[in-house]
A = this chain, B = another copy of it.
Amino acid sequence: LANHESKSADELMAAVGTRVASGRATRSRILEAAIERFAQTGPDASFEEIAGVVGVTKGALYHHFGSKQHLVEDVYREVVRRHAARVVAASSKGSGRERLEGLISESAKGYGSGSPVYRLLLRLHVEAGTVRPYLTPIARRVQARQREYMAMLVKTGQEDGSIRDDVDADTMGQTINAALQGFLVQQVEPPDSQRRAAEAFGELLGVLI
């Protein structure tokens, strides 16, 4: 009440700067907490719950994200971004075939990990097509990019002769992509069984490609 008039202009600026920075930090801590809770309780986790983890209240969430919907969207984008980064990094070197194999093994590692984050990713993919129409545009872009990237890798491999060229690149890419995501659906199995299946899938591909 009375104490902010005892500050100089500089101090005010500094205080504001700090305020802004701390705001950004809070925002990302909230996002992190949301990913965690969404991964466990599902995207229906309450605002209050998430806020509790971070040590703030709903007010902060609303300040930073505006609505539940926006938070879910941001979480979706963030989770996708992280997965994409891993996958791209794992498929950046070597022949087309090697790059494809890198992608497959990295994806399989993630999908087969049964980690909450990947479960969340799958669930958001699924719900984007049903009960959360507002995620549809994002999902569409994501899926498209994923397919294109796969097809690109296959095509590269077919050009450098490391992948058989008697099948359509697009189809091959899309199928591999589908198979990878399909593993996630069977996540009721214990993680190691998941992992073995994903590895076997990789070897099988080695024969078929």
Contacts and interface: CB of A to CB of B under 8 A. Distances in A.
Given A126-B123, A171-B201, A201-B171, A186 B143 contact: yes
12 contacts: A119-B129, A119-B130, A123-B126, A126-B185, A139-B188, A166-B207, A167-B207, A171-B203, A172-B204, A175-B179, A177-B186, A178-B183
A168 to B, nearest CB: 7
A123 B175 CA distance: 20
A197 B125 CA distance: 18
Contact of A185 (B140, B167, B178): B178
Interface string A116-133: 000100110111111100
A129 B187 contact: yes
A102 to B, nearest CB: 19
A2 interface: no
When all copies of this chain in the complex are counted, the total is: 4
A92 interface: no
Of the listed residues A41, A183, A186, the one surrounded by the most CB atoms of chain B closer than 10 A to its CB is A186
B182 A185 contact: yes
Contacts of A130: 42, 119, 123, 187
A189 interface: yes
Given A119-B129, A166-B207, A185 B181 contact: yes
A162 interface: no
Interface string A24-49: 00000000000000000110100000
A200 interface: yes
Contacts of A85: none
B168 A200 contact: yes
A156 interface: no
Contacts of A131: 41-42, 44
